[in-house]
Amino acid sequence: MNELLQDSPDKKMLLLGNEAIVRGAIEAGVALVAAYPGTPSSEIADTFFQLQKESGVYFEYSTNEKVAMEVAAAAALAGVRSLCSMKHVGVNVAADFLMSLAYLGVRGGMVIVSADDPSMFSSQNEQDNRMYGKFSGLPILEPSSIAEAMEMTRYAFDLSEELQEPVILRTTTRINHSTGVVSLGPINKNRATGTFPKDPFRYTVIPSVAMKLHKALLANYEKAAALSDTSPLNFTCGDGVWGIITSGVSYNYVSDALEELGLTSRVRVLRIGFSHPLPDKKIKDFLGKCEKILVVEELEPYLEEGVKVKAQEIGSIIPIRGKGEGIFSRAYEFDPAMVRGVIASYFGVENKNKKPIAIEMANIPQRPPNLCSGCPHRATYAAIREAFGDEPIYTNDIGCYTLGVLPPLSMSDVSVCMGASIGLGSGLGKATGRKVISFIGDSTFFHGGIPGLINALHNDHDQTVVIMDNGTTSMTGFQPDPGTDMTKMGLTNASVSIEALVRGIGVKHVTVAKPFKFKKTIEQIKEAVAFKGLSVVISQEICPMYEKTFKKPEKRTYYIDHDKCKNHRVCLNTLACPAFYLDGEKVEIDESACIGCTLCVQVCPENAIRLRKIGE
Amino acid sequence: MKTKFNVHNMTRIIFVAVGGQGNLLAAHLLGEAALAHNIPVQISEIHGMAQRGGVVESAIVMGKAQSNIISRGEADVLVGFEPLETLRAIGKCNKDSYVISNTFPLPPFTVAIGMGAYPSIEETMEKIKSQVKKLVAFDGSTMAREAGTLLSLNMVMLGALAGTGLVPVSAEMIKQTIAEKTKKAFLEMNIKAFDRGFAATSKVANA
C-alpha cells in the first residue's frame, strides 16, 4: 500500500507540502479530485493520479482549470467531497465559474487549492490570490507549515460543509515544495455516493435566482466572519505593546526573528490562518492592545488594508505599516533575515544579521535551462528559422517550448499566458500586416488554444499556427493531456486527435510534420506559410524524456568525424543542443548526452556527423 | 557515533547542484534520518526547470526554527555538488560557515559552446577558503564513479556532510535510511560512495 494511504493515526511522516494536502484530503474522505497541472501545485494532482486505483478516489486531469473546477464543484453539488488544485494563474482561467459558484454554493465539502508563486520561480506573474477571497466572497485558509497544510485541508472540508460553499486553500511555493513532519490522522472512509435532487430555481443562475443567491452569499459571509473570529487558526502569541500581524510562511520568519532579536516579550503577534473573512473582533482587540503595528505579508497589502479599515472603525490612530519605502515590498517572496531586518528597524532595536560572503561574480557564467538534447521542439524551431529567419513575428505560449526564446533559436517574440499565442498572432498580423507564426504545445492547445484557433479561422486571419505535439504535458512533469495515448499507462481514456479536430472545424490547410525529417518539415512549413489565410502545422514527435519513462531507449549516438568537419559550427550555432561542447577549437558531441535524434546530422553541411556503430 | 543534539540549536544546510545530480534525494534522505532521530527538520526546494539543466537548491533546517528557507549569510554548511554552483551560492555563507565542494566541473552549456569562460576551480576554491571557516574540496564525481556509478555523487556529498560531524544525525542512521529508501540494486554502490565522502571530511575534521 502507498504510504500516504496508511490508516495509522499519530504516525509521523516526512511529507512534501503537496503530499500533505493530498493526505489531508484523504483523511477528510475526499471522493473526487480534478486538476490541471501547474507549478507549484502539480504534485497534488500527480499524487492523486498515482493513488487513483488504490485509494478509490476518482481523479482526472481535466482539460483546464475551469473544467477541473466545474467537475469538482458538480460533485460537491451532489453532496460528495471534492477538491480541485491549480497554480495561481489557473484560478484566473476558472474565475468565471468561481465567481458564480460562490453564489450557487455546494452541498458536499469542496476545497479549491490555489498554489501561488511569490518570486515567480516558475510563473509569468506573482498575483496574490487572497484577492479572490475578497472578490468572490469565499473563505480563504492560509497554512504556515506543512503540518498545517494537512490539517487545514482536512478542516477546509468541514468548513465548506458548514457554510455550504467552497473554501479556498491558498498556499505558496514554500509550502507546496517544502517538506516537513506531519502527524497522521484517521482516514474517513465514508465516501457517500452523490445524489442530485432537482431544484432548477435554486441552481440555474438566471437573474431572478442570482438576486436571491447574492443575498444568501452575503449572509454566508457574515457566518464565515463569525467563524473566522472564533477560529483557532487566528491566534495571538507573545506580549507587549508592539504588534505584528502576519500570515502564511511570513509567520515563520516573524517567529524566528522575534526569538533571535529577543523580542518575544515585547512584541505580540496575531497570526491569521483564516484570512477571509478577516476576524473582526480579534483584530480590533489586538489593535486595542498595541501602540504600533507592523503587518508582515508577502505580495499584496491584503491584511494591511483590512487591518487599517478595522482601525478606522474603532477610531484607532496608531501607526500601522506594511508595504512601503523602507518597510516591505509588494514584489518577491520574503526570507528570514529580510523580515528580521525590517522588524528590527521598525521597532528600533539592534539587528544581528550575519554578513554574507561576497565574492566578485561579474564574470561567472549563468546556467540557464535549455531544451533537452533530442527535444523535437528544437527541430521544429530550427526548421522554421532556416526557412524564414527573423522575418515573421513569432508568438509563443506556455510550456517547455517557451525556452525557444533563448538564442540561438530566438523563436518567441511575445508569450503571455496559456493559449494566448493564437489570439496574439491574429491581432499582431492584423495590426502590422506582417506574417505571424504562432507556436503552441498540445496540452496548452487543448487547455486554451482552441477558441483562439476557431477565432482565427472565422475571422480569416492570415496566420500559421504550429501545434507542437509531443504527446504529453512535459514542463510540469509529463501529465497526460487529452491527446495522450493512455494505453501505455494501461488506461482506456480516449485520445483526442488534434489533426481530426483541426480539420473538423474546417481549417483548409493542415499538415502533419515529423520535425526530425528536417528538410521535409522546412518544405511543409513553407507551404503552410505561403497559404493565404489560416494554416496549421502539427509538428508531431513524442517527448523523448517522456518516452524514456516507459521504455529504455535504444542507445544510438553520433560523433564528429574530424576528417570531414570544417568547423563551420552550424550545428553548434543554430541548434544549441546541450550534447555539444568545444574541446579547444574542435566541436565535439558528449555521447552520454546524445540520444541520437539526428537533427545535427541533417544540418551539417559537410556530413561530418556520423553514427557510432555498436562496438566502436 | 553518538550525537547529542539540543533542539534549541539549529543547523542550516544548503545543498546546491545541477539538475540530475540527485540533490533532492540526498536532502530527503537526510530529512528522513533526522525524523528517525526525532529531530525537528524542514526542507525546502527550488527546482523550477531543473530537468532542463538548471540549478537545484535545497535548504535543510534542523532544530527549533520555524523558517524553512535560509537567508543570505545564514547557512552553517554549504554542500556544493558542482564547483561553479558552490561559488554561485557562496553568498548563503558567512565567515563561520563550513563549505564542502565537489571539484569536478559540469560546464554550463553557454561555456561548452564557447560563450563565456568557466572560472579556474583552483582559484575559486582558494577564494572561498580564505573567507569561510573551513572548505573541504575534493573530486566527488571520481569517487562516485569509483564506487560504481556517477549517479552516486549525491551519496558521496551526503557522506561528506556526515563526516564533518556538524549534523546532528549519525552516519549509521543515514546509511540505514539509504538502505530503506533507495533501490536495492544500488545499495552497495550507494554505501560505498557514502563512505568515500565520509572519509573525505572526517579525515580533515580529525586532522
Sequence spans of domains, chain B: 11-109+118-202
Does the beta-carbon distance from A367 to B51 stay under 8 Å? no
Which of A229, A253, A272 terminates a domain? The answer is A229
What percent of chain B clears pLDDT 90, i.e. is strictly above it? 82
> Between A and B, how many residue pairs show a Cβ–Cβ distance under 8 A?
172
Contacts of B88 in chain A (CB under 8 A): 361, 364, 367
User: Please, what is the Cα angle at A451 between A528 and A504, to 5 degrees?
Assistant: 60
Same domain, A291 and A434: no
Same domain, A380 and A521: yes
Identify the closest residue of chain A to B41 by CA–CA distance: A180
DSSP state of A328: B
Number of domains in chain A: 4
Distance CA A106, CA A103 (A): 9
Question: Which among A181, A367, A546 is the top mutation candidate for probing chain B, defined by the most B β-carbons within 10 Å of its own β-carbon?
Answer: A367
pLDDT digits (tens, 9 = 90+) for B46-103: 876 656 678 999 999 999 899 999 999 999 999 999 999 999 999 999 999 999 999 9
Same domain, A307 and A384: no
pLDDT digits (tens, 9 = 90+) for B90-101: 999 999 999 999
pLDDT at A97: 98
pLDDT at B4: 46
Say which CATH number the domain at A455 has: 3.40.50.970
pLDDT confidence bin for B7, thresholds 50/70/90? very low
Same domain, A239 and A218: no
Give domain status of residue A277, yes or no.
Answer: yes
Which of A502, A525, A547 terminates a domain? The answer is A547
Question: Which among B18, B109, B110, B121 is the top mutation candidate for probing chain A, defined by the most A β-carbons within 10 Å of its own β-carbon?
Answer: B109
- Residue among A94, A157, A101 nearest A129 (CA): A94
Does the beta-carbon distance from B68 to A353 stay under 8 Å? no
pLDDT at B3: 43
Same domain, A221 and A246: no
DSSP state of A446: I
In Å, how far is B138's CA from the nearest CA of chain A? Answer: 21
Does the beta-carbon distance from B74 to A145 stay under 8 Å? no
Same domain, A51 and A79: yes
Angle between helices A302-313 and A280-289 (to 10 degrees): 70
Same domain, A142 and A218: yes
Contacts of B97 (CB under 8 A, 6+ apart): A357, B75, B76, B77, B78, B132, B133
A567 contacts chain B (CB < 8 A): no
pLDDT at B51: 62
Give domain status of residue A17, yes or no.
Answer: yes
pLDDT, averaged across chain B? 91
Peptide bond into A40 cis (omega under 30): yes
Give domain status of residue A369, yes or no.
Answer: no
Same domain, A225 and A275: no
Give domain status of residue A365, yes or no.
Answer: no
Distance CA A510, CA A466 (A): 10
pLDDT digits (tens, 9 = 90+) for B101-128: 999 999 998 888 788 899 999 999 999 9
Same domain, A225 and A329: no
A183 contacts chain B (CB < 8 A): no
pLDDT at B115: 81
Contacts of A4 (CB under 8 A, 6+ apart): A15, A19, A22, A23, A26, A47, A51
pTM above threshold 0.90: yes
Give domain status of residue A371, yes or no.
Answer: no
User: Please, what is the Cα angle at A453 between A389 and A392, to 5 degrees?
Assistant: 15
Which residue range forms the structural domain that includes residue A253?
Answer: 233-347
Same domain, A506 and A382: yes
Mean per-residue pLDDT pooled into runs of 10, chain A (616 residues): 95 98 98 97 98 96 98 98 98 98 98 98 96 98 98 98 98 97 94 90 97 98 98 97 98 97 97 98 98 98 98 98 96 98 97 92 87 96 98 97 94 98 98 97 98 98 98 95 95 97 98 98 98 98 94 89 96 93 92 94 97 77
Give domain status of residue A309, yes or no.
Answer: yes
Which of A496, A518, A547 terminates a domain? The answer is A547
pLDDT confidence bin for B9, thresholds 50/70/90? confident
The domain B11-109+118-202 belongs to what CATH superfamily?
A: Pyruvate-ferredoxin oxidoreductase, PFOR, domain III (3.40.920.10)
Does the beta-carbon distance from B66 to A145 stay under 8 Å? yes
Same domain, A23 and A146: yes
